[in-house]
Structure 1
């Protein structure tokens, strides 16, 4: 059935209640949010002369009247079919990284070995979203223990940087987006070391061979990654941007002209190859306690920054117990620690109180209910989420079914909540995601990020990677649980996803992109559970993204009003868009901030294990299985 026929076939009663049934005009258009890329597509594009060919030098060829070709099977909006295999699977945001993971699996490596190799490759191949200057989280299905285990490696702020010094560099009451004041200890390499020590099968050194090879010989840069590198470098070159020095970043990523690669241009990073060799030979300790750590220490002393050898040497990754909730027979797992993973569980608990299936796929009512659940959960996110080593986070209460029932009563199907506040507790990004699975049944859901864009703009002398700017997510508000403190971990946006059914693994999945991540995870779960979409079409389905909730760094999104901005991808039906605007939603143009998804699904065909893997069209990557 074609998409238009599918939408038209939904009974009018299921699309929306009476108050949503009338057609209204689309609401105000909004500007892209900070840190999000992509070329906006104005709603009025159809009224302008339509281009007849793709103009040279343009990033996009936009024809609102033209849609993708028709697939003979599956959802009409799916870009491709999932890939299937019996022995292993992997999906990432770059084909060469996915290939590296498959090669490691074929060589007898575990899913953890493959994940480390993929992550190392992405640090080179996708520096706009990942790298060893950032943090990492993972959830792993341990087939021997028959459970999901969690890995958290989030670095703390420098111990020599106090609150007064941070406030002196604040802008509009928040930390700046770039420069040394935003840098926290990178956690990714520590996560690799801890995961390999527990679950690795191949020698540690072998896991870095693909990344080192690509770094030395070079690899062509895909279109989307090239676009974002050029955007990031343009921001680093702007005057008065707060970056202490930019020469290293421009030399590392800028190629000959300092502006970055064009699509298909070959990129090499010999500095990163040498750094990877040091880690391959010396283990994770080489990064935190060896010569690499001393180079980082000298660099920050040279530029007037605060990160020191002692901060790096003190860092440890940690194994943590994931939280979980049941959503209509599916158990969804999430990490708490200092992440926003609880928001996924909170949203699902609220939505369980409503009949989303009866509302209809991409109907006004379905999107309205999901966006309102997001607004409620994100107020709690801004009020309570923080490093549990420094603040008491009421996790059990936040993800309880009882609290969700109370919050669900605030939602009306025919109108917006005009004012949203956090609940009263009882007294007492840019990111890369990848997933892989092995022949023993182990599955890894892993996410890794430098936070906003490529990171802080700072690259240590000769090391070939950029430091994260995760510290921007601290609050500077007195009394806030996420207020800045030396040696404290900032609130984290990056969250892996995992779902099980009947005590067995089902989906290892993730949706990249700052505050989009819980929103995107919920849309994947509801598309699969409530609307029956398969692994690939769930990722390709048009998405919504709500902006304007309170932020944990203590700064609300500017000029978005009390109800924020609801961005809809162009594939959302016009009738849905119009009805949402009629009841008061302020509708924004698509801006590229809808996340990017990878997923590996575990199935059983009788006694035979089958993996299905998917990678969507919003990124340059692919999924593979064998």
Structure 2
């Protein structure tokens, strides 16, 4: 139990349904859907789409999603890949011929076909109850009427807005400026798109006027996107991957997501006696950082389009983790792996919902960098992701940009399973940090006995591209110890990531936890 003398958050407890996400309006919309008789999938879709209006710098209809879910009455975990592909005419060789060594972050080359809308339509039809028209109603309302800008969103907006260009500035700035806390943001063009989706389904987005609006914006900037690329978009059901750590199974989405990285990282950490360490001391932070360097190096070599990821079994093998763990010097930091040519960043939303029948949904949805590519369509203001920057231009690499392929993705939903039962859907936002965040969350719970809210509240650190980012929640003494071990220590301007979780207890009570680094909350009924 937390010390009530100090600021903090209590877990949210309820029996009929629970949502945890990064904006209160989306949490409320999800609970409203549950109270109307919808299931967890309905609620998660309704909340996620609304988050694209509440946090447009993070996500939107022009983005991708990944989903893990467990149907009511079952402990089976299913996975859906709602990430889009590069247009068929995209080729790394053409970019290399132009002298490029990486995909431009804010050019049409980085725009992959949005996959989330197709995923939401598919999940609603196959696993929802209420119908897409009901699920999109909250987002339509707020897109028309407007959303007051929340504090964390206002904090992120000015820096993210530097990416906006052309129509993007008109649709996502107020009088040419980033909105302030409490100012109203409206998206009438998106409201119209949502109304068409509610009426006509996925073809309203991937064919006809809405698709033409996106294609025109891209082709005007030199994009190779065609109508056939949009019309051919299709999500895929796939098989999750999992790994065991300290009595619990971590279930992750398979490639092209980077979830296997979290499993490898925990496999490496299992070779160290973490429970004897200070959870917020330098020793644990150092071992975790070294494990992250090694796991991420493996990710960079292996994770790619599902058809190109051929060494996943090797990545998850116990002997691989054992060999990597042996490389860690407890007294000295190793040189970080070479920086990625493919881009990684932090801007993502996550929502988890559990309903009274036990259906659990873990859904993550993103446009990648802040405001994605910065490219928006003219009429409807659909902001397009820059997920194509997740490709490499290295010839022959599994993750080489290839027409029709999916890039390596940073966004990963997670679930924990204990004794064969689904115990906790959860997610940790933060781009490249996400596998490290998943591993730290599991370690906080299992090695140090923290409850989910305390595990989320706890300070974070992350060895990222040669820099050891250490939140202000750590002491100066710990930072100095890490520097003495050879880490290049800095305090990041922004907090590291954000997390949400729901524990499904044996007594039927749902326990929600939400990260104070974001504006959101856990909400139940």
| TM class, shorter-length | over 0.9
Paired position in structure 2 for 1:342:
260
Q: In structure 1, what is the equivalent of residue 119 of structure 2?
A: 191
C-alpha distance in structure 2 between counterparts of 1:521 and 1:105, whole Å? 27
| C-alpha displacement of 1:335 | 1.1
1:582 aligned onto 2:484? yes
Cα shift readout 1:142-163 (whole Å, capped 9, x = no counterpart): 2344211111111111112333
**Equivalent position SS for 2:416:** strand
Aligned to 1:451: 368
Distance 1:227 1:362 in 2: 27
The residue that corresponds to 1:487 in the other structure is 404
Q: CA deviation at 1:419?
A: 6.9
Instruction: Give the structure 2 partner of residue 470 of structure 1.
Output: 387
What residue number does 2:46 align with?
Answer: 117
Give the Å deviation of 1:360. 2.2
| Aligned residue in 2 for 1:143 | 72
CA distance in 2, matches of 1:204, 1:418: 50
Unaligned runs of 5+ in 2: 340-345
CA distance, structure 1, for counterparts of residue 439 and residue 506 of structure 2: 24
1:549-598 deviations in Å (ceiling 9; x for gaps):
xxxxxxxxxxxxxxx21111111123322222112111112221510111
Aligned counterparts of 2:353 and 2:192: Cα–Cα separation in 1: 27
Instruction: Give secondary structure in 2 for the equivalent of 1:515.
Output: helix
Q: Secondary structure at the match of 2:280?
A: coil
Match of 2:106 in 1: 178
Larger radius of gyration between Structure 1 and Structure 2 = 1
How many residues are paired up?
519
What CA distance in whole angstroms lies between the structure 2 residues aligned with 1:187 and 1:235? 21
Write the deviation string for residues 57-77 of structure 1: whole angstroms up to 9, x where unpaired.
xxxxxxxxxxxxx624xxx6x
Tell me the equivalent position of 2:342: none
Q: Please, which of 93, 96, 116 is the counterpart of residue 22 of structure 2?
A: 93
Question: Paired residue for 2:237?
Answer: 319
Contact 1:105–1:114 under 8 Å retained in 2: yes
The answer (yes or no) to whether the contact 1:300–1:308 under 8 Å persists in 2 is no
Measured in 2, the distance between the counterparts of 1:340 and 1:419 equals: 19
| Residues 418 and 298 of structure 1: CA distance in aligned 2, closer, same or farther (over 3 Å) | closer
1:530 aligned to which of 438, 447, 463: 447
Say whether residues 1:619 and 2:518 are aligned partners: yes
2:338 is the counterpart of 1:409? no
- What is the rounded CA distance, in whole Å, between the counterparts of 1:170 and 1:180 in structure 2? 16
TM-score relative to the length of structure 2: 0.95
Farther off after superposition, 442-451 or 472-481: 472-481
Output aligned runs, 1:421-460, within 5 Å. Answer: 429-460=346-377
1:500 alignment partner in structure 2: 417
From the superposition, tell whether residues 525 and 410 of structure 1 become closer, same or farther in structure 2 (CA, over 3 Å): same
Structure 1 residue 233 displacement after superposition = 2.3
Out of 550, 567, 572, the position equivalent to 2:469 is: 567
Give 1:438 shift.
0.6
CA contact (8 A) 1:443 1:508 kept: yes
1:24-81 C-alpha deviation (Å, 9 max, x unpaired) = xxxxxxxxxxxxxxxxxxxxxxxxxxxxxxxxxxxxxxxxxxxxxx624xxx6x7210
Q: 2:194 aligns with which of 276, 285, 290?
A: 276
Deviation at 1:166, TM superposition (A): 2.5
Query: Displacement, 1:420?
Result: 5.5
Shift of 1:170: 5.8
Aligned to 1:230: 158
How far apart are the structure 1 equivalents of 2:44 and 2:186? 22
Contact 1:85 1:610 in 2 (8 A): yes
Q: Which residue of 1 aligns with 2:4?
A: 71
Q: Is the 8 A contact 2:217 2:375 kept in 1?
A: no
3-state SS, counterpart of residue 450 of structure 1: strand
Equivalent residue for 1:515?
Answer: 432
SS in 1 for 2:363: strand
Report the CA distance between 1:340 and its aligned residue: 1.0
Following the alignment from structure 1 to structure 2, what is the Cα–Cα distance between the partners of residues 145 and 235? Answer: 44
Q: Hey, what's the Cα distance between the residues in 2 that align with 1:418 and 1:229?
A: 34
Contact 1:414 1:583 in 2 (8 A): yes
Aligned with 1:598 (options 486, 492, 500): 500
Equivalent position of 1:43 in the other structure = none
Within 5 Å, give how 1:54-65 maps onto structure 2.
Answer: none
**Who is 2:34 aligned against?**
105
Distance 1:261 1:419, change over 3 A: closer
Q: 1:371 to 1:251 in 2, by over 3 A?
A: same
Q: Distance in 1 between matches of 2:472 and 2:338?
A: 31
TM-score normalized by the length of structure 1: 0.80
In the alignment, structure 1 segments of 5+ residues that lack a partner are 3-69, 237-245, 423-428, 549-563
Q: Contact 1:376–1:421 (CA<8 Å) still a contact in 2?
A: no
Q: How far apart in 2 are the matches of 1:299 and 1:589?
A: 39
2:248 is the alignment partner of 1:330: yes
Distance (whole Å) between structure 1 residues aligned to residue 19 and residue 354 of structure 2: 6
Looking at structure 1, the residues matched to 99 and 105 of structure 2 have their Cα atoms a distance apart, in angstroms, of: 10
In structure 2, how many angstroms separate the alpha carbons of the residues matched to 1:320 and 1:521? 21
Q: Contact 2:416 / 2:424 at 8 angstroms: preserved in 1?
A: yes
In structure 2, distance between residues paired with 1:449 and 1:403:
31
Q: Is the 8 A contact 2:196 2:204 kept in 1?
A: yes
Instruction: Confirm or deny: 8 A CA contact 1:520 1:594 kept in the other structure.
Output: no
Which residue of the partner structure matches residue 365 of structure 1?
283
Verify: 1:209 aligned to 2:127, yes or no.
no
